[in-house]
Amino acid sequence: MALIGNLSSELTNKKFDWSRPIRDHVTEMANLVAKLNSMGMQMSESFLVQFILNSLPTEFGQFQVNYNALKEKWNFQEIKAMLNQEKWRLKKMKENSIHLMTHDGASTSKSKSGKKDKEIKVKEGGVHKEKKCYF
């Protein structure tokens, strides 16, 4: 009984943390469910899919909303494939994002490379402030 409790707790508390491929994370969760099933603790595939969705970080929020809006739910193989696609989409978005840095101190019109920094206006709280883009 203690082993069932430990496996159930591990399954419930498992979180995806980007330290390894998402397919490994999903497979590990499926293996936990298979172990529990073999010990007489029957869990359906839809239950596994819900545990997988609950284990995802906030970056997958839109994915979760879209899944919950579907009338027809996915099985284990479908969720595994879709999560792999979503992981690549999120990774590509991260690679294509830029960071806007602000500095309230004294500024110069030349960067270290001697090129003039591009100044942009950003509206903050109803006030336009000058910002520099270093992208």
Listed in sequence order, the DSSP H helices in the chain are 2-13, 22-38, 45-54, 61-69, 76-95
Q: Residue 41: pLDDT above 80?
A: yes
Which residue type is seen at 26? Answer: V
Predicted confidence (pLDDT) per residue in 52-76, tens digit: 999 999 999 999 998 989 888 889 9
Could you tell me which residue, 109 or 30, shows the higher pLDDT?
A: 30
Q: Residue 22: pLDDT above 90?
A: yes
Angle in degrees, 0-180, between the axes of helices 76-95 and 61-69, rounded to the nearest 10: 140
Whole-angstrom Cα distance, residue 31 to residue 11? 10
Which tokens is 131 given? 């910002």
Could you tell me which residue, 37 or 112, shows the higher pLDDT?
A: 37
Q: What's the pLDDT at 109?
A: 47
Predicted confidence (pLDDT) per residue in 89-135, tens digit: 888 887 765 555 555 555 444 445 554 545 555 555 555 556 666 65
Cα R_g (the chain), whole angstroms = 23
Whole-angstrom Cα distance, residue 64 to residue 120? 35
Task: State pTM to two decimals.
Answer: 0.65
Residue among 66, 71, 69 nearest 82 (CA): 66
Q: What's the pLDDT at 39?
A: 93
In degrees and rounded to multiples of 5, residue 31 shows phi and psi of: -65, -40
Could you tell me which residue, 116 or 40, shows the higher pLDDT?
A: 40
Is residue 67 within 8 Å of residue 85, measured between CB atoms?
A: no
Residue % of the chain over a pLDDT of 90: 47
Angle in degrees, 0-180, between the axes of helices 45-54 and 76-95, rounded to the nearest 10: 20
Could you tell me which residue, 122 or 86, shows the higher pLDDT?
A: 86
